[in-house]
Amino acid sequence: MRIIRPKPDRELVNLTPLIDIVFNLLIFFMLTGSITAAEALSIDPASSTSRMRGNVEETVVLVDAEGRIALGERIVSRKELPGIIRETLTADPGALIQLKPDGEADAAQVIDIMEGIREGGAEYIVLLTMQRSARAVS
C-alpha cells in the first residue's frame, strides 16, 4: 500500500521586508530631494563673485533669455510691470524687489526692466546672481 502525501499549500510570501525597504527609500528621497518654489520661467541666472547677503523672501521678477518677464508664477508684459510693482509697494511699502535675470538675457532688456521696476516706485532693486567659483573668475 502506497502512502500518498498531500501536497503542501503554497507558502505565503512575507511582504514585510519589502514594505520596509520601500518606506526607507521613500523617506530617503523625501529627505534628500530639493524642494523649490515653482517659477513661471526656467532661467539660468547670471554669475557673480560677490556673496549672498541673506535669505530674503520678497517679490522676485524673473527675466528669461528671450526677455520675457515673470512675477511669481505669472508672466507679465513690460507695460504691466510698473503697475504691478506699484500695487506690491502699496500693500507693503518696505518691500524689496529682487530681479533674477537669465545669464543669457540681453543687458539692455534687463536695464529696461529695471527702469520699469523704478517706474513702479521701487527705490532699491536687488540683482540676484549665482556666485561664481574662484577658479572661474581668474
CATH number at residue 78: 3.30.420.270
pLDDT band at 118, cuts 50/70/90?
very high
Identify whether 13 is part of a domain.
no
Place of cell 518691500: 95
Identify whether 24 is part of a domain.
no
Per-residue pLDDT reduced to its tens digit, 77-111: 999 999 999 998 888 887 889 999 988 888 899 99
Return the ∠ at Cα 116 (arms to 113 and 117), rounded to 5°. 90
Give the rounded percent of residues in the chain with a pLDDT score beyond 70.
78
Name, of 39-48, 65-74, 125-134, the range with top average pLDDT.
Answer: 65-74
What residues contact residue 55 under an 8 Å CB cut-off, 6+ apart?
none
Q: Which of 4-8, 14-18, 62-66, 96-100 has the lowest average pLDDT?
A: 4-8
What residues contact residue 100 under an 8 Å CB cut-off, 6+ apart?
43, 45, 60, 61, 62, 63, 128
Question: What residue numbers bound the domain in which 59 lies?
Answer: 47-137
107 or 11, which is more confident? Answer: 107
> What is the pTM assigned to this prediction?
0.57
Q: What element of type H or E holds 110?
A: helix 107-119
Domain count, the chain: 1
How confident is the model at residue 136, as a pLDDT?
52
Identify whether 25 is part of a domain.
no
Identify whether 98 is part of a domain.
yes
Identify whether 14 is part of a domain.
no
Kindly state the average pLDDT of the residues 115-121. Answer: 92
